[in-house]
Structure formats: structure tokens, C-alpha cells
Amino acid sequence: MKEVFDYIDSSHDSAIELLSKLVRQPSVAATGQGIKECSELVTNLLGEIGANPKVYDLGEGSPVIAGEIKSKKNPKKTILFYNHYDVQPPEPLELWDSPPFSPTIKEGTMYGRGVSDDKGELAGRLKLTEAFLKTWNDVPCNFKFVFEGEEEIGSIHLGKYVKKSPEIFRADGVIWEFGGVDPKERPQVILGVKGILYIELTSKIAKKDAHSSLGAIVENPAWRLVGALSTLKKDDEILIPGWYEDVKRFTKEELEWIRKAPYDAKSVKHELGIKNFIADMGVDEAKKALAGKPTCTICGMNSGYTGVGSKTVLPSEAFAKIDFRLVPDQDPDDLIKKLRKHLVSKGYGDVEIAYSEGEKAKRTSPREPLAIAAKEAAESVYQKPAIVEISSAGTGPMYLFDSPCVAIGGGHAFTNAHAPNENKRLDYLVSGMKWVADTVNRFAIQ
């Protein structure tokens, strides 16, 4: 791998140039800004490394761009790189120190929207592929690329692309779109994500707001909503019958990996200004909850008058947005039926449920050859022990890929992804490429 690593080191400037080019092209999935142009850009970039790009476009949302490079020496194994070319909206603009779509480098760190999430990783995958091809004139196994353009809006059409064109998603292993080192710069091999069921509950009663003196005789949707919500959860336990039915318990091995993974609870508490976690849980409980606890979180709630001072109004409508995080093998389609049944049984059949997002959880076993390769490569490149996380607390469309997935890459902590002044440390752009390249090579020759 020495010649590949040397190429990565010596082509550092051209990697930065490639990343700058990608960041200069806005691609905001939420608004559609620049999506088409950016999909063309990544198509061309795949073409330039010889990946035979194809555009898959269902006509709704952003197209999926896929490419493939066959390995000469190892055509029976295939690794797939899943990345996304869309970015979060750059707002609020006034909080940026430099314009979000004008990549700016300060002290070895590049600033710009998408520089870290996910254009830095996408550029890294392209450049490490180039490194193999320029030095070995081959790739260690077949390389597949799937670049989607809706990750930042919940990958809303990706499932349809999988159904329509399953062949482009087929592989022996998947390198996920994010990954890197933790706040103490220890490499993390992340092997799973939680699922999600995101819904909106709405209670509507009257056709317009009324004077609150009518509260004596007219039903209040805010009270209906509070009543419905209070049947969902108690003492951090979800009360919907059957909710935990399909939850796979942690294996002994998983518990051991969770125990071994460090978690900087102090930093998290300091960052949020809180003294304790829920129910005073300790670090071990917190790690288990983050990796494997089904949650029910009110993300938003609104009814009636919410301005300054007092207004005596009886609202006509109330709603709450709720994010249930799921774990293997919970199924959002099944759970929403259970939720509906539960609300009816509790006398809240009039509370409407709008289903806005559903994704299953996914985990890859730490015993999987790809997971082992990622861990060994991390320790070889960084010369320190790697942390294995059996699941991130976050969510992504990993479940759409049948094969094992590892989330590794060139990320560092505190990149301000999704926030102003998103940034990427350029030293990790390089080391992340080496890590991924070495992982793929170890996986290929296993």
C-alpha cells in the first residue's frame, strides 16, 4: 500500500482542489438549489476516473449517480461507496465567517457548506480510487459508487431507486458516507445506525380559534394533544403495546463492545449545560441507550397563542412532531399501525397521525470481515487502538443495503456539519483516504 499512500500524500493539493470545486457548486436538497448542476459535476468526476457513470432519475427529487470500476485481479469481490452530493441549507448566512459556497482555508482547515458533510468524503473516495489506478493500474476489488442527492432530506426516494435498480446497490460490503475520529482523535469504526419513525400528531376541533371563556364547554385540541401524548410514554418507557416486541436484545459481544468504547459524557453535559442525563444514568447506561434504546422524542409542539404576554384564546388546532428512534428489528410500517391502534384504544382516535419519514435500523457485526478490516486499517494508519461502535445514535438509509456496512472516513469532531462555519481538517482528508484505502485492500484480499 506504500505506493498508494505516497500517491495520496503527493496529490494532497489536487484533492483540496477537487473538494473546493465540489463545495463551490451549491446543492441544497431542501430547496433544489444547484442539485442538477452538482449531479452533473459528480457524473463528470466519476467519468474522469473511468467509473462509467450512469444517471438514474425517477423524475422526482434528485437523481442517483452510480458508477463502477471492475478489478482485473479480483473481479469476484465488490465494495460499494455510498455518498451524497447534496448539502444542508447554508442559513443562517450571517453566522458564517466566510461565504458558505466559497471554500476558504485557514490554518489547515477548509470552511464551506458540505466541505465535511459529505463532499469531503465523496472527494476522498474519488481520490483514493485514482491513487489505486495511478499506482497499481487496478483496484483491489470491484469498486461501485452510489452518490445520492437527498440524504439531507431523509433519502426520501432512495428506497424507490433500490427497488427499481437493485443491481447498483449490490456489493459484498459498503463504505458508508461518514466516519472519522472522536473528540480525542481516536479512530471510530461505526457499524450501525438507528432507524426512525417521524410523525406528526394533530388535534383539530373548531374551525376557528374562540374566546377562551368558551373553554367551559368547547373541547380544547391542546388538551386532547397533551392527553394523547401522555399515553405514549412514562418514565422514559414507551407505553404503546408491542413497541418493544421486535427489539433484538444486545448480544454479549455487543455489550462488550459498548463497554469498551469510550464516551465523553462530561463534554456532552458541558456542551449542553446539563448536570445529569435522564434518570441520572451513568456513562455505561448512556452508551447503551445511545446505541440501542428505542426513543420517543417530541421535536416540536405548537398550539394557539405563543407570543409575548397573555392572550385568552381557545385554540382550534394543536400539533406535535415526534421522532421515534428505532433499533433492530423494529419496522416503522408495523409500529405506526401499533401507534394508531393504541391511540384509538385510549380514546384518541380523533387525533390525526401524519407519517413523514420511516427508516429501519441496521447493524453490522463486529465479526464481519469488513468490520475487522476497518479496525485493523485504522490501527495501522493511526497507530493507535480503534474504537468500535456497534451503532451510532443517529439514523441513515443503511438498511437499504443488504451487505455489511462500515462508517469510516476523514471526519473529525466538531465539524459544524448542518451549522454555520462547517469545516474539514485537511490532515484528516489525507489520513481518512489512507484509512479507507487500506480497509478496502484488506477486505479485498481476505
CB of 402 to a copy of itself, least distance (A): 24
Instruction: Please answer whether residues 306 and 181 qualify as being in contact, where contact means their C-beta atoms are separated by less than 8 angstroms.
Output: no
E strands in 19-108: 54-56, 64-69, 78-84, 104-106
Spatial separation of the C-alpha atoms in residues 24 and 306, rounded to whole Å: 40
Instruction: Please answer whether residues 395 and 177 qualify as being in contact, where contact means their C-beta atoms are separated by less than 8 angstroms.
Output: no
CB of 163 to a copy of itself, least distance (A): 22
Q: Judged by CB, which is closer to a copy of itself: 61, or 124?
A: 61
CB of 431 to a copy of itself, least distance (A): 26
Q: Judged by CB, which is closer to a copy of itself: 187, or 315?
A: 315
Q: Judged by CB, which is closer to a copy of itself: 271, or 427?
A: 271
CB of 227 to a copy of itself, least distance (A): 7
CB of 149 to a copy of itself, least distance (A): 17
Spatial separation of the C-alpha atoms in residues 133 and 10, rounded to whole Å: 15
Omega before residue 280 within 30° of 0, cis: no
| Cβ partners under 8 Å of residue 131, min gap 6 | 4, 7, 8, 11, 433, 437
Q: Judged by CB, which is closer to a copy of itself: 226, or 255?
A: 226
Q: Quick one: DSSP state of residue 87? A: B
Q: Judged by CB, which is closer to a copy of itself: 256, or 350?
A: 350
User: 53, 40, 35: which is closest to 145 by C-alpha?
Assistant: 53
Q: What is the dihedral of CA 140, 384, 368, 170, to 10 degrees?
A: -40
CB of 351 to a copy of itself, least distance (A): 13
Spatial separation of the C-alpha atoms in residues 328 and 333, rounded to whole Å: 14
DSSP string, 166-196: GGGG--SEEE-S--EE-TT--EEEE-EEBEE
Q: Judged by CB, which is closer to a copy of itself: 7, or 319?
A: 319
Q: Judged by CB, which is closer to a copy of itself: 171, or 225?
A: 225
Cell representation of residue 429: 482528508
| Cβ partners under 8 Å of residue 409, min gap 6 | 120, 121, 124, 175, 176, 177, 178, 179, 180, 432, 435, 436
CB of 50 to a copy of itself, least distance (A): 38
* Phi, psi torsion values for 33, nearest 5 degrees: -55, 120
Footprint of a copy of itself on this chain (CB under 8 A)?
154, 194, 196, 198, 205-208, 210-220, 222-223, 226-227, 229-230, 233, 268, 272-274, 277-278, 281, 286, 289-290, 293, 295-307, 309-316, 318-321, 323, 325, 356-357, 392-395
Instruction: Please answer whether residues 87 and 28 qualify as being in contact, where contact means their C-beta atoms are separated by less than 8 angstroms.
Output: yes
CB of 247 to a copy of itself, least distance (A): 14
Q: Judged by CB, which is closer to a copy of itself: 105, or 226?
A: 226
CB of 154 to a copy of itself, least distance (A): 7
Q: Judged by CB, which is closer to a copy of itself: 95, or 214?
A: 214
